[in-house]
Amino acid sequence: MTHGHTITVEQGTRRVRAVHGGQVLAQTDRPLVLRETGCPVRYYIPPEDVRLDLLIPSDTHTYCPFKGTASYWSLPDAADLVWAYPDPKPDVAAIKDHLCFYEVEVS
């Protein structure tokens, strides 16, 4: 990691739900919790706990020097609502193929 920039990934135990327009898109009791310097805490959800059938692959890709290249998915009324790292950097390998939503409910 670059000096002063840290990323940690740990197994979470709290329930995380992603809801959009009243529809549950994802729900899990086993999120990965990613903490990154200067960023909000993010919850990465195992793909088997995500309604992948509702998501449409996007052409959007972004690059993070710490995590790698992200792929995005959309809903008909919400572009690039969720992302994942199909080939993450070694330091965050645990998040491979887990999906992350901009807004989640944690309980």
Backbone angles phi, psi at 94, to 5 degrees: -60, -25
73 forms bridges with which residues in the sheet? 57, 82
Gap between the Cα atoms of 60 and 57, Å rounded: 9
The 10s digit of each residue's pLDDT in 62-83 is: 999 999 999 999 999 999 999 9
Phi, psi of 27, rounded to the nearest 5 degrees: -155, 130
pLDDT for the residue numbered 2: 54
| Topology (CATH) of 7-106 | 2.170.150
Distance CA 22, CA 77 (A): 13
What 8-state DSSP symbol labels residue 29?
S
Answer yes or no: pTM beyond 0.85: yes
Domain boundaries of the chain, sorted by first residue: 7-106
Alpha-carbon gap, residue 29 to 17, rounded angstroms: 9
- Average pLDDT of the residues of the chain: 95
Burial label for 104, CB within 10 Å (0-12, 13-18, 19+), is buried
